[in-house]
Chain A
Amino acid sequence: MAAAVLNGVTNGIASSSKIDSYLADESRFASIDKVLDRRGPWTVEEFVGGEGTKDFLRKQSKVLVIGAGGLGCEILQNLALTGFNDIHVIDMDTIDISNLNRQFLFRESDVGKSKAIVAAEFVMNRVPGVKVTPYHGKIQDHPTTFYQQFNIVVAGLDSISARRWINATLVQMAEEDEEQLKPLIDGGTEGFKGQARVILPTVTSCYECSIDMLTPPTAFPICTIANTPRLPEHCIEWASVLEWPKVHKEKKLDTDDPDHIEWLYQQASARAAQFKIEGVTWALTQGVVKNIIPAIASTNAIIAASCCNEALKIATAAAPYLNNYMMYVGNESVYTYTFEHEKRPECPVCGGESLIAEAKRDWTLERFIESLINRQDLQISKPSLSYSRGALFWPSPPDVYTATRPNLEKPLVDLLGEDEGIVVTDPALPVSVNISIKYV
């Protein structure tokens, strides 16, 4: 297929209609059909194959792509060319000129526009029959019901907090209803390194299970940046961590504001000159304060390809899917390793138990807590309870205790609605427990 497209390009203008007719022809999926039409030596047991499978892939499945950046562009391209025809994409970002070297769905005239919207239009124009629905905004602004409509979620994010959020949301959905288990395929790259993983919420380890494996953000000792700078980065951190709050007081540093970066750059340059340090540049200043990691287009291509193959395998059962973590290390020759990251029993997101607690309509909160303490399956003695509006009752620290103690005497029905979830922690529990209340 790639060769045919390439020929079209090299043959010049006349061939553009050739590409169109090729793409419009369903037989362009001939290669993929070979693995979907019949069983092979590695086909998984559940595999049925044939029209039903192809129909599910091309007509029924609905995929959500989170992120339309470096990984997102590759993922959208791959999914569309694999035969997924109902793709949704969400991204809060707008296109920056510096994206254009690798985010190939964007052109110079698109700078400033929504990544999701431009990417969706590009893919729809390029690949006939594919519907891409864009959402310009934050994933956190969509309710659980939004995520319920998809079969698979593929994430190409650059933010840990966004990953933690989507992971926690999908785990919670699966905990509440097994039917709502949505596989999450998470890709990530950092320079020559990358990873692809398959998360089956509540079944496999989740993103939060492996949070301890992440390298914490680079930080230099504050005493070094204050007194004995040796690196250009020390001068930049001095400007952003110490000088900015000193000079601008309450005004917060906005790392997206070029004027703010310029100020930091000037300060850092002066300090670097004073200490005879070379290498402070505008780009490095921006890189340090925004924690920019070099993005390499081909690493994105490798990781996105891996993620999309997993999406195809999960959607069709044509081959066993990744179990469950593939790391790719390209900066010391090439090394890849696939392993099963195990569930962490004390994971605050998926390790916690989820249970239903019955309560009588005339109970106070205190009576309800007593019933929790009496439960044999919990074995707790000093529980702290939170709900959607914050702390419901915490026995400590003293301030929070004083603020939440009046809740003890209130009728439970005034505090919590039917099916409203609460989170319980206790010194005796390694994890939190999600409890939904059922009034009897």
Chain B
Amino acid sequence: MNELRQIMADTVEKLFSDQVTKKLKEQAEAAVFPDALLQAITENGLLHVLVPENMGGVSGQFADAEVIARAVGRHAVPLPVVEQIISNYLLASAGITPPDGITVFAPVRDSETINLHDGAVTGTATRVPWGRKADHIAVVTDEGIALIKAGDFSLTENQSIASEPRDTLEFNGATAIASGSLPSGMTAHSVFALGAMMRASQMAGAIEWILEASVQYANDRVQFGRPLGKFQAIQQNMAEMAGHAAASGAAALGAFQAADLAHEGNVDSTFEIAAAKTRISEAAGIVTSHAHQIHGAIGFTYEHDLHFRTRRLWSWRDEFGSDSYWADWIGGRILALEADDLWPWLTTRPT
């Protein structure tokens, strides 16, 4: 990790450790929006990490954004952070200065298409994260990116398994107050993949935290006169968790680094993103299962901190394409190769 990235990691870790308390997460689930935290995140420039300096941003790389996404997952930050990072990136790339307030992007499903015609936006986007809180929506249309003001569409509230807002937005000739092209080489599907990439890193962060909490619990909790961690059956499960945590971290970082290479025009990073989302979504099921097993009944209570990460993992592994979706996508690419070309192809991929 370079020095700048390390400083950013330390800043984010400190901010979230101090402010993302259990109480704050509980209140967020009871619809008390953490305005002060969002303000601190904004003031630190985190939402503008991928925005160029001449538009008020940080001119960071995707690998810098990974540090933030990882921490968002680690601390189960109940705010649209990665959603705003993507929105601001898309707008800035289209030459639109990201507006003040909250901007999220839509659609978030691969199957949904939204049309832009004569400056009017039409179509439906379901399960848009934090749609109800947005001041603006950056809509990915068939004609590029279009910025829509809140109030110019109808909204139906819905939520994720982790009690985060996932709302349906219906655009019926909404006015594009600004519009522009997607970043060079990108399609609606590659925006969807960016969402998958963010979720991959958030999951890796949540898994990191869960592993640490499980190790801590195994060392503290005494049964039969010994800490749980002294039992070989527990050690075996914890080691398995640790392997998945290590793989998740490596896969997530790999996707963001590939995205940086893609940005430089060297490679299409969709494979690395697909591999990360597949690998980590698989890990999510195993890690949550082991974590709840070791925590026993206390981990099944709302009172305990564990569920803020496990419920998010169950939500995130489905979003922006599940492991089945992306595995199928990878399989399709691989089966288009000759079998004997698998290895020569794999060795051209960035590591």
* Same complex origin of A and B: no
Interfacial residues, chain B to chain A (CB-CB below 8 A): none
Interfacial residues, chain A to chain B (CB-CB below 8 A): none
